[in-house]
Structure 1
Amino acid sequence: MDVKEKLSQVVGTDAFFDDPATLQAYATDYSYTPAGAPNYIVKPGDSEQISQVIKFCNENCIPVVPCSSKVHFYGATIPKEGGVIMDLEKMNNILEIDPDNRRVRFETGVTWEKLTQELKKEGYRVIMPLTPPAQRSALTDFMEREEPTNQVYDYGEPLAAMEVVWPTGEIFRMGSASVNGYPKSHSKGGNPSGPGLDFYRFFQCAQGTMGVVTWTNLKIESIPQIDKVLFAPITDLDYATDFLYRILPRRIGQEVLLLNNVDLAAIIAKDSGNFEKLKASLPPWTLILVVSGLKRRPEEKIAYEENFLAQVIKNEFSDMKLTESLPGFPGLGGKILQILREPWPADKPHWRNQVKGACQMLSFHTRPLHAKRLVAMVEDIASRHDYPIRDIGLYIQPIEHNRACKPEFTFFYDPDNAEEKAAIRALYKEAAVALINEGAVFTRPYGDLAPIVYERATSYASHLKRLKKTFDPNNIMNPGNLCF
């Protein structure tokens, strides 16, 4: 039995594709990663079909690249060695919403649009990263450890138990979903590390190289009864950092983030036409802080947080102008709250691609007190590559009550301009090397970052390769990514 016949038999002829046009549609994404088309595409409908496809591919040493989203920015689903793209979009069921345990269980193909809409009907929401595209797989973002804009401790590890298919085809459940009888048993699968083994970290940021996640449990929270969006124009990052050091350990605020004028202009612009005007009129940085009251005593909670903020500003940070409106931008609060709580609309280009057609993002983790220096360093490197500093997007996400932060640079470019794309790639690589030399931590070493990071972590890479050999002896799962 040949490959086409076998795969068609497993998933059905209507879920198997090998025509050139469809194959080419999977050959690129929104990154500068070189194109790489698969040989076949399959769209399994359940875990058993995934298992059968993987078993066949493992026996015949055929590469398999899992793909569960319509939108990709990092080149993680572009085949490096051909093979089979396993598109999981048909697995788009929300399996259960469990308000008592504040969790939702859903399959890997569920989009942000579907997840947020269904939870909203029940009065709940997901703590989400900044502006995920509506058609992007929600699970993908959590597998890639995208930082949410809400860093309240309770939501720091939103993923709980999950089901995976190993590279040899075995179906495996981890965490508290591994008990007999799940999901009808007493266990609700809310704990990622017990009583089963804690494997969930093994699959995060692995780009599908360790197996295929089929469904997961995710923490949810009730929709706030009251929200107030506060803004502060910022000219000095260190001053803003000191302010956040003072308030975030007291668990003040829900969504908290810093955007420079480029990123904020791109987010709120109606179209590319008024982007430049907005960029010129916004402050260098804007601190966005949302205080919220949930189900219990919402007015009292809001009052407590506002009183604390007022005292801190009066006694220690008199230059911090934190108000419900950003000067010159009336009505921005309501618009920003919607942007922070809902996925980016499917009917308009994502703001990262609206400016010039494509972008390359460079994000890392560091201590907040180092952020200003590292930003200046990258800006200096950009200027040497003739990339205007005024055109660099910047987003800083405080993490764990400002114990750490994630700066993210956005370099916009024209994807049809080969020279411009090559210049962005050279800038990206030089900046990454400089950052890692200064102690920056890259938790997602994708694409060009992989050799930069893994060559400096030889012991870790060696252990990772041994684990990969154990679970994927024929190296069929998304080969060419990470350090193998």
Structure 2
Amino acid sequence: MSIKDALAKIVGKENVSDTVEDLQLYAKDLSLLPSGMADAVVWPGSSEEVGKVVAYCNENNIPVVPVSSRTHLYGSSIPKQGGVVVDMKRMNKILEIDKANRLARFEAGVTWGQYCAALKEQGMRTIMPLLPRPDRSVLSDTLDRAVPTNIVYDYGEPTQSMEVTWADGSIFRMGSASVNGFPDSKSRGANPSGPGLDFYRFMQGSQGTMGIVNWMSAKIEHQTKIDKIYFAPVTDLEYANNFLHRILPRRIGQECLLLNNVDLAAIIADKAEDFDELAAKLPPWTLILTISGVMRRPEEKIAYEEKFLTEVLRGEFTDMPLSDKLPGFPGLGRKLMPMLRSPWPADVKYWKDRLRGGVQDIFYITRPGKAKEQVAIMDAIAAKNGYPIADIGKYIQPIEHNRAAQVEFSLFYNPEDEQEKAMVAKINREAAAALMNAGAFFSRPYGEIADMVYDKAASYTMTLKRVKKVFDPNNIMNPGNLCF
């Protein structure tokens, strides 16, 4: 019996395919990694179907490649060794929005556009990364530890519980979902630690190599009552970091980020033709900071944050021109405030795609004080390879009140120009190696960068492989990624 026929018995013949046209949809993504063809693709509609599909593949040593987003970015969903693509897009139900406990439970196929719209109807919101693609899976990006723009410690870890299909097809619940009677148990899923030993950390950042997550519950928050947004032109990253280190640990602010002129111009441009003019007018960097009042005493919360900011700016950081307006850009606050809490509009070409058509992102975690040095390293490597420094997108995202920061560089390129792609790939390799030596921690490594990371951590890699052997002894789950 063929793979297709066997899978059709599980999910129905209309939900499995081995046509070249369908398989080519999964053979490549927006990354620079080489393409690879699967043997079949299946679209399960329930956890039970996922379990049966994975069990069949495990019994027959067939690789399994889980996907849930509509747009794939970094190469982890490209089949490296053939096998079966398990596309979770049919499992796109929001199972629960619990306003009292501020959590939502949703399946793997739920997208940012769908999720944010549903929460808004209930007067709720989610904490999200910067302008996610509307067709990306919320579950996938959350598992990947995508860094949110909100710097509040409490929101940095949104995962509460999840249901996983292991490589043998068994279904396992983690966190408070493992309590008897869930979701009607007294805890209502609000305690992420669960009743005992938990395994949910194994799934975070695993890129589908440990199992398939069927659904997840995650923290949500009430819509804010009052919002204010501030901007500051920045020319000295060290001075800006000192300012943030003064205010953010005091729990001042909600969203806080630094964008260079390239990234900010790409975001606020109404059309691609406006980009060059905007990039020329914007300062080298722009600090964006929001303060918000939520459910309880919002006016008082706003008042004490404004008072603290005023005192710090007048008494300690007199050269930090923080204001509710960015000079030369009237109305920017009204435009940008809702954007920071929404996915990118589905009917507008994504901001990173409309500059050149393709983009290679380099992102990592670092100490905030090292960001200035690492930006200089990136500039030097780009210039050495002939990439214009003025065309690099740069984004610094403080994490947990500026305890750490994510730094992201975006190299825009023409995907039809092979020479340009080769140059960007070379810069990606060289920059990753140099930045790693300068204190960059690649906590979400993909492709060639993953090889560099695991080569430098032999004992950790050995331990990961031992854990993998326990949960996936036949190595069927997304082989060829991370160190597997």
Q: Taking structure 1 as the reference length, what is the TM-score of the superposition?
A: 0.99
Residue 5 in structure 1 maps to residue 27 in structure 2:
no
Q: Secondary structure at the match of 1:402?
A: coil
What is the distance in 1 between the residues matched to 2:77 and 2:163?
A: 20
Alignment of 1:152-167 (within 5 A): 152-167=152-167
The 8 Å contact of residues 160 and 217 in structure 1, kept in 2 or not, is answered as yes
> For residue 51 of structure 2, what is the aligned residue in structure 1?
51
> For residue 182 of structure 1, what is the aligned residue in structure 2?
182
> For residue 416 of structure 1, what is the aligned residue in structure 2?
416
How much does 1:198 deviate? 2.3
Alignment of 1:391-410 (within 5 A): 391-410=391-410
The 8 Å contact of residues 179 and 194 in structure 2, kept in 1 or not, is answered as no
How much does 1:174 deviate? 0.8
The 8 Å contact of residues 193 and 199 in structure 1, kept in 2 or not, is answered as no
How much does 1:138 deviate? 0.7
How much does 1:162 deviate? 0.5
> For residue 111 of structure 2, what is the aligned residue in structure 1?
111
Residue 85 in structure 1 maps to residue 85 in structure 2:
yes
Unaligned runs of 5+ in 1: none
What is the distance in 1 between the residues matched to 2:216 and 2:186?
A: 17
How much does 1:9 deviate? 1.1
Letter in 2 for 1:309: L
What is the distance in 2 between the residues matched to 1:196 and 1:395?
A: 39
Letter in 1 for 2:322: L
The 8 Å contact of residues 178 and 196 in structure 1, kept in 2 or not, is answered as no
What is the distance in 1 between the residues matched to 2:62 and 2:149?
A: 39
> For residue 443 of structure 2, what is the aligned residue in structure 1?
443
Q: CA RMSD in A?
A: 0.9
> For residue 236 of structure 2, what is the aligned residue in structure 1?
236
> For residue 367 of structure 1, what is the aligned residue in structure 2?
367
Q: Mean Cα displacement is larger for which, 399-408 or 197-206?
A: 197-206
How much does 1:191 deviate? 2.4
How much does 1:166 deviate? 0.3
**Partner deviation per Cα, 1:381-410 (whole Å, 9 max, x = no partner):** 110010111000000000111111111000
Residue 202 in structure 1 maps to residue 202 in structure 2:
yes
> For residue 379 of structure 1, what is the aligned residue in structure 2?
379
What is the distance in 2 between the residues matched to 1:482 and 1:387?
A: 28
> For residue 101 of structure 2, what is the aligned residue in structure 1?
101
How much does 1:187 deviate? 2.5
> For residue 289 of structure 1, what is the aligned residue in structure 2?
289
What is the distance in 2 between the residues matched to 1:149 and 1:58?
A: 39
The 8 Å contact of residues 66 and 77 in structure 1, kept in 2 or not, is answered as yes
Unaligned runs of 5+ in 2: none
What is the distance in 1 between the residues matched to 2:238 and 2:244?
A: 10
Structure 1 segments, 4+ long, off by >6 Å, are: none
What is the distance in 2 between the residues matched to 1:421 and 1:197?
A: 46
> For residue 16 of structure 1, what is the aligned residue in structure 2?
16
Q: Secondary structure at the match of 2:52?
A: helix
What is the distance in 2 between the residues matched to 1:480 and 1:66?
A: 13
Letter in 2 for 1:17: S
What is the distance in 2 between the residues matched to 1:79 and 1:435?
A: 29
What is the distance in 1 between the residues matched to 2:201 and 2:242?
A: 32
What is the distance in 1 between the residues matched to 2:71 and 2:396?
A: 22
> For residue 265 of structure 1, what is the aligned residue in structure 2?
265
Letter in 2 for 1:120: K
**Partner deviation per Cα, 1:8-62 (whole Å, 9 max, x = no partner):** 1111111111111111111111111111121111000011000000000001111
Count of aligned pairs: 484
> For residue 27 of structure 2, what is the aligned residue in structure 1?
27
**Partner deviation per Cα, 1:91-135 (whole Å, 9 max, x = no partner):** 111111111111001111101011111111111000010000111
What is the distance in 1 between the residues matched to 2:301 and 2:463?
A: 47
How much does 1:345 deviate? 1.1
The 8 Å contact of residues 244 and 402 in structure 2, kept in 1 or not, is answered as yes
